[in-house]
């Protein structure tokens, strides 16, 4: 799919809906109490600060002309006290809101991570990992301040405007209308650029996502890059993506800068008009110099909240682009989930039935069509055939990693689509071809799927798969720390640890997808002895390209042409001299 590339912009599935902010209120309501306290502190701080121009007016018009030196020191002390108290209250409010912002980040990020854990394989098939990571980390950081400080500041600045307007009109009505004259011009500018500004920040979001996706891909594939000396070519790709991001960022900033530029110039023009009207148009009987100074101060204070609101508007526009991405992820449907009346799958015997199963990863393109087979409890099944025929798809469907297009799969006559995923997968041991190792100790990695396992049980599982010997050779044995993806381990060692992790779960149905592909022949022979004992009494599905490893399975199914082309034991299929015979003979000749 086109969206599964680092250089393709992800267009939103639907336009932004203001109701997203209604959804965001869920996170804000959790912090209602500290936000109310912070708001009251902010309002009190602002009210105290607004008394300063009145003090200044009284000092200029009354205290100084009367030469009351003692009163002047008293008013000066009161002015200083208003500043100190206002700053102190603002500091307490800032500390409260810092914690609120972090709590909102925690809640949103936790919900995102929980939802990502539940999304089906198909979601990850269609997206680069970097484009998912940036939503959980960068985008959440970007919206947290708007959802915490932004809400309070918006309300506070609106109240500031009301308070300042009330103080202005109380001092002088005519000059108050002069100050308000620039407001319609500012609103017109905002209306002209708002849509362009939002689109600009959406473009920044896209380019940031692309850059992050390529960076993550490059780090994951650094060994391949260096093997093929692709450093310079990759640097060119990164430079192009970084340049695209910088270009869109600068374009968005130009829109952002236009708003404070407009406010500053309008404030300057209004102040000039204020002095012009106050000093030239009105007579001294109508207005005093103290009134002009007070109104000049209020003019600055009036446009300061407007500038703050414009900056909040910029932050709001930025947050819209990021909030859209966050809620788009949270709205991604969990298509593989428990049905409303799903029941627990009881302990299984291991019978597996495919009943007319049809499946395709993309609409209209089927990988399997009308597939039917029935596996008895304890039977070992080998799935062989050409690459891409659907072998891994079969075992993925048994585990219900994808929903069927048609038909149904039964385990002990129970439709797996009607049972809970936890009860289904909890009775399966699945070892995929990619042996993923998590950062931590070897002990933790083996115990990953069964947290209550004892150390003795872990060691026993490792011995069964011939992993104990090389683990004991490490200085710290099972407590040896390994890196993410097990970079300090060989591929064979990673595979054996994954094997031990799978077997420790003591599954009733065992799925091995190329489980021994990276293990040397000697270790494989030793491992096979343990596996033969382990497979007794369990239903097992084994995918292997080396046919010598599956010839002893109870049944071998050759997957081809969207179904099972041949099925039987090794001897039966060899006697038929069909597809399996030709594949086995070709491999035998290659070995020779």
Q: Verify that 128 and 181 share a domain, yes or no.
A: yes
Q: pLDDT band at residue 65, thresholds of 50, 70 and 90?
A: confident
Q: Is the pLDDT of residue 2 over 50?
A: no
In a domain, 10, yes or no: no
In terms of domains, do 420 and 446 share one? no
Total structural domains in the chain? 3
Residue 164 in domain:
yes
* In a shared domain, residues 358 and 493: no
Q: Do 394 and 472 reside in the same domain of the chain?
A: no
Residue 92 inside a domain? The answer is yes
Coil/strand/helix, residue 372: strand
CA distance 116 to 134: 13
Q: What is the pLDDT of residue 99?
A: 84
Full-model pTM: 0.67
Between 434 and 207, the more confident residue is 207
Q: Is the pLDDT of residue 427 over 90?
A: no
Question: Of 219-223, 313-317, 576-580, which one has max mean pLDDT?
Answer: 576-580
Looking at the fold, whether 438 and 423 belong to one and the same domain comes out as no
Domain with residue 373: its CATH number is: 3.40.50.300
Residue 7 has a pLDDT of: 63
Indicate if 470 and 399 belong to the same structural domain: no
Specify whether 383 is located in the same domain as 493. no
Mean pLDDT of 308-321: 74
Residue 319 sits in the same domain as residue 379:
no
Residues near 325 by Cβ (< 8 Å), separated by ≥ 6? Answer: 12, 135, 139, 205, 209
Residues 115 and 219 in one domain: yes
Check residue 1 and give its pLDDT: 36
Give the range with max mean pLDDT: 261-265, 292-296, 314-318: 261-265
pLDDT, one tens digit per residue, over 359-376 is 998 888 899 999 999 999
In a domain, 528, yes or no: no
Q: Mean per-residue pLDDT for 158-170? A: 79
pLDDT attached to residue 498: 82
| Residue ranges making up the domain that contains 267 | 19-330
Taking residues 453-476, report their average pLDDT.
87
Residues contacting residue 192 through CB under 8 Å, at least 6 positions apart: none
Q: In this structure, is residue 473 part of a structural domain?
A: yes
Q: Are 388 and 315 part of one and the same domain?
A: no
Instruction: Tell me the mean pLDDT in the region 302-313.
Output: 78
CATH assignment at residue 271: 1.20.1560.10
464, 549: one domain:
no
Whole-Å CA distances, 567 to 283, 393, 564:
107, 17, 7
Q: In this structure, are residues 35 and 148 in contact, taking their beta carbons and an 8 Å threshold?
A: yes
Which residues touch 580 (CB under 8 Å, ≥6 apart)? 384, 556, 558, 566, 573, 574
pLDDT confidence of residue 352: 94
Structure tokens at 171: 């001092």
Contacts 24+ apart (CB under 8 A), 175-181: 175/274, 175/277, 175/278, 175/287, 175/291, 175/292, 175/295, 176/295, 178/270, 178/273, 178/274, 178/277, 179/270, 179/274, 179/295, 179/298, 179/299, 179/302, 181/270, 181/273
Rg of the chain, C-alpha, whole Å:
35
pLDDT at 277: 75
Distance of CA 22 to the CA centre of its chain: 20
Tracing tokens 């006559």 back to the chain, one arrives at: 413
Report if residue 466 sits inside a domain: yes
Sign of the CA dihedral running 284, 286, 289, 293: negative
Of 330, 364, 380, the domain-final residue: 330
Domain end (from 330, 363, 381): 330
Do 133 and 217 belong to one domain? yes
Asked, for residue 119, whether it belongs to a domain, the answer is yes
**Is 262 within a domain?**
yes
pLDDT of residue 420: 93
Average pLDDT of the residues in 406-431? 90
Distance in angstroms (rounded) separating the CA atoms of residues 414 and 398: 12
Quick one: pLDDT band at residue 516, thresholds 50, 70, 90?
Answer: low
């Amino acid at each position: 799919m086109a969206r599964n590339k680092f250089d393709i912009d992800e267009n939103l599935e639907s336009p932004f809906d203001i109701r997203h902010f209604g959804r965001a209120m869920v996170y804000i309501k959790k912090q209602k109490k500290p936000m109310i306290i912070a708001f009251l502190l902010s309002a009190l701080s602002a009210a105290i600060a607004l008394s300063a121009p009145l003090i200044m007016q009284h000092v200029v018009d009354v205290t100084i002309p009367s030469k009351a030196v003692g009163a002047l020191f008293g008013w000066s002390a009161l002015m200083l006290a208003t500043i100190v108290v206002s700053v102190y209250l603002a500091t307490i409010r800032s500390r409260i809101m810092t914690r609120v912002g972090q709590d909102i980040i925690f809640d949103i990020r936790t919900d995102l991570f929980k939802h990502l854990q539940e999304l089906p394989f198909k979601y990850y098939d269609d997206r680069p990992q970097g484009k998912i990571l940036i939503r959980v980390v960068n985008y959440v950081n970007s919206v947290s301040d708007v959802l915490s400080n932004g809400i309070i500041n918006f309300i506070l600045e609106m109240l500031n405007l009301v308070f300042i307007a009330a103080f202005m009109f109380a001092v002088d009505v005519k000059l108050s209308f002069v100050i308000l004259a620039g407001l319609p011009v500012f609103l017109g500018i905002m209306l002209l650029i708002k849509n362009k500004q939002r689109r600009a920040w959406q473009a920044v979001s896209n380019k940031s996502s692309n850059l992050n996706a390529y960076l993550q891909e490059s780090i994951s594939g650094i060994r391949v890059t260096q093997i093929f000396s692709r450093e310079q070519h990759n640097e060119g790709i990164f430079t192009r993506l970084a340049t695209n991001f910088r270009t869109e960022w600068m374009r968005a900033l130009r829109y952002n800068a236009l708003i404070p530029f407009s406010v500053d110039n309008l404030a300057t023009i209004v102040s000039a008009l204020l002095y012009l009207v106050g000093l030239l148009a009105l007579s001294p009987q109508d207005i005093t110099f103290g009134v002009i100074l007070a109104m000049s101060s209020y003019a600055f204070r009036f446009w300061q909240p407007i500038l703050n609101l414009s900056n909040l508007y910029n932050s709001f526009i930025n947050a819209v682009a990021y909030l859209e991405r966050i809620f788009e992820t949270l709205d991604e449907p969990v298509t593989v989930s428990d049905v409303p009346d799903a029941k627990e799958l009881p302990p299984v015997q291991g019978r597996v039935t495919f009943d007319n199963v049809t499946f395709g990863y993309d609409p209209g393109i089927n990988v399997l069509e009308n597939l039917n087979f029935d596996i008895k409890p304890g039977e070992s099944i080998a799935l062989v055939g050409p690459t891409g025929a659907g072998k891994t798809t079969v075992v993925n469907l048994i585990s219900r990693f994808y929903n069927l297009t048609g038909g149904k799969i039964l385990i002990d006559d129970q439709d797996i689509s009607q049972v809970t995923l936890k009860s289904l997968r909890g009775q399966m041991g699945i070892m995929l071809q990619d042996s993923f190792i998590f950062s931590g100790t070897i002990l933790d990695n083996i115990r990953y799927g069964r947290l209550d396992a004892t150390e003795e049980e872990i060691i026993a599982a490792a011995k069964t798969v011939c992993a104990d010997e090389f683990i004991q050779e490490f200085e710290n044995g099972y407590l040896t720390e390994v890196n993410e993806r097990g970079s300090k381990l060989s591929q064979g060692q990673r595979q054996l640890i994954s094997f031990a992790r799978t077997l420790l779960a003591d599954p009733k149905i065992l799925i091995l997808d190329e489980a021994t592909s990276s293990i040397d022949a000697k270790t494989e022979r030793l491992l096979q002895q343990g596996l033969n004992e382990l497979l007794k009494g369990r239903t097992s599905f084994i995918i292997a390209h080396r046919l010598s490893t599956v010839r002893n399975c109870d049944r071998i199914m050759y997957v081809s042409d969207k179904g099972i082309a041949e099925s039987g034991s090794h001897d039966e299929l060899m006697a038929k001299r069909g597809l399996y015979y030709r594949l086995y003979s070709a491999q035998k000749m290659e070995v020779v």
